[in-house]
Structure 1
Amino acid sequence: MSDDANPRGCEPKTGAEALLTGLKTSGVDYLFANAGTDFPPIIEALATLPPGQVAEALTIPHETASVAMAHGYYLVTGRPQAVMVHVNVGLANAAMGVINAASDNVPVVVMSGRTPITERGRPGHRVTPIHYGQEMYDQASLVSDVTKFHYELRYPEQGASLAARAVSLANSEPKGPVYLSLPREPLMEVIETQPLPKSPPPPTTAAHPDPDALAVVAGWIAEAEAPLVLCQRGDPAGRLGEALSAFCNRHGIGVAEPFPLRNVMATNDDAFLGYDVKAAMEGADVVVVLDAGIPWLEAFHAPDEGVKVVHIGADPHFARMPVRSYRCDLAIAADPVAAVEALSAVMKDPDERSRSRREKVSARAQAWRAKALSEAKTGCTTPMTAEWMSRCLSDALDDTAVVFGELGFVPGSMTLAGANRAFNPPHSGGLGWALPAALGAQLADRTRMVVACIGDGSYIFANPVACHQIAEALELPILTIIKNNGMWNAVRRSVINSYPQGAAARANAMPLTSLEPAPDYLKVAEASRAYTERVENGQDLPAALARAMAVIRDERRQAVLDVRVAVSDRN
Structure 2
Amino acid sequence: MDHSHEQTGAESLLEGLSQSGIQYMFANAGTDFPPIIEALARRDPSAAPVALTIPHETAAVAMAHGAYLVTGRAQAVMVHVNVGLANSVMGVINAASDNIPMLVMSGRTPISERGRKGARMTPIQYGQEMFDQTSLVRDLVKYSYEMRYPEQGKQLVMRAMSLATSEPQGPVYLSLPKEPLSEIVPEITQTHHPMPPSATKILPDPEAIIKLARLLETASNPVIICQRGDTEGRLSRALSTLAAKHGIAVFEPFLLRNVLPSNDPALQGYHASGPSDADLIIVLDSDTPWIEATNAPGPETIVVHIGPDPHFARMPVRGFRTDLAISSDSVEAILAVDRAARAPSAAGQRSKALAQSATQRRDAAQVKAKAGDTNPMSAEWISHCVSEIMDEEAVAFSELGLLPAYMTLKGPNRLFNNVHAGGLGWAMPAALGAQLMRPDRLTIACMGDGSYMFANPVACHQIAEALRLPILTIIKNNAMWNAVRRSVVNGYPDGSAAMSNTVPLTSLEPLPDFAAIARASRAHAERIEDGRELPAALQRAVGIIRTEKRQVLLDLRCAVSDMH
* TM-score normalized with structure 2 length: 0.99
Matched with 2:66 is: 72
State the distance in 2 between where 1:550 and 1:472 align. 17
State the distance in 1 between where 2:311 and 2:262 align. 28
Q: Give the deviation of 1:305 after TM superposition.
A: 1.4
Determine if the alignment matches structure 1 residue 8 to structure 2 residue 15.
Answer: no
Matched with 2:350 is: 357
Determine if the alignment matches structure 1 residue 234 to structure 2 residue 235.
Answer: no
Determine if the alignment matches structure 1 residue 125 to structure 2 residue 119.
Answer: yes
Determine if the alignment matches structure 1 residue 62 to structure 2 residue 56.
Answer: yes
SS at match of 1:357: helix
> Quick one: which of 368, 371, 374 aligns to 2:367?
374
Q: 5 Å matches for 1:228-377? A: 228-278=223-273, 280-348=274-342, 350-377=343-370
Determine if the alignment matches structure 1 residue 404 to structure 2 residue 389.
Answer: no
Check conservation: 1:12, 1:18, Cα contact below 8 A: no
Q: 5 Å matches for 1:352-501? A: 352-501=345-494
Q: 5 Å matches for 1:101-180? A: 101-180=95-174
Question: Where in structure 1 are there 5+ consecutive unaligned residues?
Answer: none
How many pairs are equivalent? Answer: 563
> Quick one: which of 74, 92, 104 aligns to 1:98?
92
Counterpart of 1:275, as a letter, is Y
Matched with 2:509 is: 516
Counterpart of 2:474, as a letter, is I
State the distance in 1 between where 2:518 and 2:130 align. 37
Check conservation: 1:12, 1:21, Cα contact below 8 A: no
Q: Give the deviation of 1:357 after TM superposition.
A: 1.5
State the distance in 1 between where 2:374 and 2:99 align. 39
State the distance in 2 between where 1:423 and 1:489 align. 20
User: RMSD value over aligned CA atoms?
Assistant: 0.9
> Quick one: which of 49, 56, 59 aligns to 2:43?
49
Check conservation: 1:221, 1:286, Cα contact below 8 A: yes
Counterpart of 2:91, as a letter, is G
Check conservation: 1:241, 1:265, Cα contact below 8 A: yes
SS at match of 2:189: coil
Check conservation: 2:276, 2:295, Cα contact below 8 A: no
Q: Give the deviation of 1:196 after TM superposition.
A: 2.1
* TM-score normalized with structure 1 length: 0.98
State the distance in 1 between where 2:535 and 2:390 align. 11
SS at match of 1:156: coil
Q: Give the deviation of 1:360 after TM superposition.
A: 1.9
Counterpart of 2:38, as a letter, is E
Q: Give the deviation of 1:12 after TM superposition.
A: 6.6
State the distance in 2 between where 1:69 and 1:12 align. 33
Deviations 1:432-481 (A, max 9, x none): 00000000000011111000001000000000000000000000000000
Counterpart of 1:392, as a letter, is C
State the distance in 1 between where 2:354 and 2:325 align. 26
SS at match of 1:180: strand
Alignment identity in percent?
A: 60
Counterpart of 1:217, as a letter, is L
> Quick one: which of 166, 178, 185 aligns to 1:184?
178
Determine if the alignment matches structure 1 residue 81 to structure 2 residue 72.
Answer: no
Counterpart of 2:20, as a letter, is S
